[in-house]
Amino acid sequence: MNTMNINNLAVFVLIAFVVMGCKSSAPASSVPDATLLETYWKLTELMGQPVPAPRPDTREVHMILKNGNRLQGFAGCNSIMGSFEVKNEFSITFSGVASTLMACPDMTTEDNLKKVLERVDNYTISGNSLSLNKAGMAPLARFEAVYLK
């Protein structure tokens, strides 16, 4: 190999190392974790089943955990409200969960969501996903952050 080819190869290797060293170690799609409070959480899965799209005449099922430990949201037919308590980094309990009293043709999602909120004792947040869990069981409900504050 002549000196010109060795020099070209050395320059190429040097450039390759510089370019590789400039890349971020975090993936480009990396998103910071959503925050538990003051985030609009859209329900995507309930008791292992995907949540059906809302009817054209209604809103999506969602909740917002407000400062002051207040729960507010929409359960598919009725507005829901109540309180919650975060005891440590991952422990959460809900209490006093109530709803308005409208009757709708299908109350399945709403009834199941209220049952889940009574049972959960912990949560996890990963990126824009919130899981509400009971002990070490599979998530009882999964939510997606629609927007972050």
Q: What is the pLDDT of residues 35-75, one digit of tens each?
A: 999 999 999 999 999 998 887 877 999 999 999 999 999 99
d(CA 46, CA 91): 19
* CATH number 3.50.50.60 given to 40-147: no
**What is the average pLDDT across 117-125?**
97
The tens digit of pLDDT for each residue in 2-27 reads: 554 555 544 444 344 433 444 434 34
Neighbours of 39 (CB within 10 A): 21
**Location of structure tokens 């959960």:** 120
3-state DSSP call for residue 111? helix
Neighbours of 31 (CB within 10 A): 11
Tokens of 149: 């504050």
